[in-house]
Structure 1
């Protein structure tokens, strides 16, 4: 058993994709890094396990794309709903033209191992419960493990402890539920479609009484005879999600048994509440920053967060020698503010009753509209893209920000 470090240059709390990416990039930059997590790896994580081309691009940067290609690879989305089925290839452009899906038990363990191989020191089973601050700067983080309490001093702190972000709350993080958020659940089942080259999404998700819910169901092939099956619904404080997710998920699994060759019972059913679209404030201090899910870097239109976790983990490392209280919120706003603003505005519209039943059938009758929706919903638009769809998306984002009473990350 290695000795737990008492101090470090960069302390990363949370070893999911965001934290492991940050630890990897910081270690590769020659910094002394400690990567701490409350769990002992490998561990499970409630997630759809999907990796969009945006996430694949970040994994390529990390140098783990060969490992990803050894798993399930998909070429796009098969959308079902309102009597139609459309196969929509990933749009490509400046991003990779393929996606994947890897169970988080395996993905997170591999990314954490990548960080340790880069030179980070791992600390497992240690829950961050408090922080010692001096003049707004974090000097140390307090951990609890096996009934014992200890501190790790640090010069810089990166908080990547997930959607609930207990350490973020200690530092003043506030989640604003007046913007759209999601309630989602997932499980694993055996399926004859586990090697399907398409991920599937059912846009006509129905509740117990047959009503259309403001959300969708998904089936992501994992290979090896398994698929990840889940459902997610959108909500706001004004229109809360009064839906029991696990029963909806069980019904969705049963409805898919024939079409997707599902057999056996759902395994490891879990659910989660997801802050999205930068709907948090106090994301940074002079020497600390929240990244990934802790900073609500989750796409409001599809619930994807792995890509933003990987990206924010890379981006924050370049700013570690700056006053993060100024530079980090500014960078998050620059990279994600416009896209998150328009995305959560559109997602909020979907929570209005009768909107989805009215617009869904029309959209599903057009391959062109749904391809455009796939690109926008997946935020598969980069700064390098100059085509008309990209320009329209960025223009809409700018207009949306101007109308915000509380822009993302504020």
Structure 2
């Protein structure tokens, strides 16, 4: 397979330290391929071209590796998502050289929290190494742009081809079988990155198992015209009620998109012992009717979709000798708010570093996920499990909403805004709670 190698002027191709942060000049006619010949072989095969897969493909290609980026869809394509980009996600987009692009859309300065008779405006906190601004970009556009960034970096694209099986040899993946419009074909690979989303069909083939005894979410999103489309705050309603006025264990959100519309969605929390018993699409209509006057909503909810979200590393078998699951496929989703884009972008970068280093992924990848996310996911799952009980939410919600301090801490934790460099009280509390939570987990994250 021939393609153009790209790197910065001062680093050799493949250098672990080359970040090539500037925008890449486009390649001539980036390839968009719906089917490929059976004999194709590549250094790195990435299955799934969402934020995680596209980030992994971009970094691996910038490091000088031959990369194929394959997806079942033809881009641009939609995906169920709140479209919100936290400062942590913005930080990753900056690393990719996409700061100007993302801020050409919309900019928000923090969270406006509603509920239990209170409304608090909580600016994004000042966190070392992260910007203090967020944004929101529809996934139809975000994912297409991230995929194009990977193609410009040198990855070869495959569209409209669904991964249906893997050929293994002693636990190593030798090839992945795809089904496209013209039939089935194989792509052989030295290493495989699985980024095929929350359901992860290829992950299941490789032994991935989702454990529903910890908290998960059922969430939906839609688009609606709003006079608040340019609001500099994202909004979250922590007192979500159903058709009969009953309080639900979940949350609603409104993310301004700056184009005359907002992303409006709702999610409920559940576990295997306390499953969700709510129809999400009707719930979004109830939610929209409840807040319609305040947010200047008009017209019907457009493109409503919903999804089931495994969260907090609630999966096992995330890696083998030469393959690894990243992003949503590895349940890297925040249990407190359903956010996954930042983790997807991060894990895409992390796995590319590991591929260049030549590490065996079977033990190194779960260890890295545990190091970066294990404690935070553990305590977040435990807290979210508490809030999956409507009675406890009714009792504790008003207490939290009356405290600017507690809600500021919650924003920091919910937004994944505690970095390794932080030494303030919020960070110390979070790490202390995380260590103790993992110690009593029956099944720690990623195990």
> How do residues 139-154 of structure 1 correspond to structure 2 at under 5 angstroms?
139-154=174-189
Residue 27 of structure 1, CA deviation:
0.2
The equivalent residue for 1:91 is 125
Residue by residue, what CA displacement relative to the aligned partner does 1:178-215 show, whole Å, maximum 9, x if unpaired? 00000000000000100100000011100122111111
Query: Does structure 1 residue 305 correspond to structure 2 residue 337?
Result: no
The equivalent residue for 2:108 is 74
Counterparts of 2:390 and 2:226 in 1: how far apart (Å)? 33
The equivalent residue for 2:89 is 55
Query: Which of the residues 135, 157, 160 maps onto 2:192?
Result: 157
Query: Does the 8 A contact of 2:231 with 2:256 survive in 1?
Result: yes
The equivalent residue for 2:410 is 373
> How do residues 120-199 of structure 1 correspond to structure 2 at under 5 angstroms?
120-199=155-234
Counterparts of 2:63 and 2:182 in 1: how far apart (Å)? 35
Query: Which of the residues 75, 79, 84 maps onto 1:41?
Result: 75
Query: Does structure 1 residue 241 correspond to structure 2 residue 241?
Result: no
> How do residues 343-358 of structure 1 correspond to structure 2 at under 5 angstroms?
343-358=380-395
Question: What stretches of structure 1 of length at least 5 have no aligned partner?
Answer: none
Residue 103 of structure 1, CA deviation:
0.1
The equivalent residue for 1:316 is 351
Question: What stretches of structure 2 of length at least 5 have no aligned partner?
Answer: 1-31
The equivalent residue for 2:290 is 255
Counterparts of 1:4 and 1:22 in 2: how far apart (Å)? 21
Residue 106 of structure 1, CA deviation:
0.2
Query: Does the 8 A contact of 2:109 with 2:123 survive in 1?
Result: yes
Residue 282 of structure 1, CA deviation:
0.2
Counterparts of 1:176 and 1:226 in 2: how far apart (Å)? 37
SS in 2 for 1:231: strand
The equivalent residue for 2:236 is 201
Report the aligned-residue RMSD. 0.9
The equivalent residue for 2:370 is 333
Residue 105 of structure 1, CA deviation:
0.1
Residue 4 of structure 1, CA deviation:
2.6
The equivalent residue for 2:55 is 21
Residue 353 of structure 1, CA deviation:
3.2
Residue by residue, what CA displacement relative to the aligned partner does 1:344-401 show, whole Å, maximum 9, x if unpaired? 0000011123111111111111111111111112221010111111011011000000
Counterparts of 1:169 and 1:283 in 2: how far apart (Å)? 10
Query: Does structure 1 residue 228 correspond to structure 2 residue 263?
Result: yes
TM-score, normalization: structure 2? 0.91
Counterparts of 2:375 and 2:86 in 1: how far apart (Å)? 20
Query: Does the 8 A contact of 2:177 with 2:184 survive in 1?
Result: yes
Counterparts of 2:305 and 2:61 in 1: how far apart (Å)? 33
SS in 1 for 2:267: strand
Residue 255 of structure 1, CA deviation:
1.4
The equivalent residue for 1:4 is 36
> How do residues 360-399 of structure 1 correspond to structure 2 at under 5 angstroms?
360-399=397-436
Mean Cα deviation higher: 360-369 or 49-58: 360-369
Residue 104 of structure 1, CA deviation:
0.1
Query: Does the 8 A contact of 2:48 with 2:70 survive in 1?
Result: yes
Residue by residue, what CA displacement relative to the aligned partner does 1:28-58 show, whole Å, maximum 9, x if unpaired? 0000000000000000000000001111111
Aligned length: 410
Runs of at least 4 residues of structure 1 off by over 3 A?
A: none
Counterparts of 2:242 and 2:288 in 1: how far apart (Å)? 13
Residue 148 of structure 1, CA deviation:
0.1
Counterparts of 2:428 and 2:405 in 1: how far apart (Å)? 17
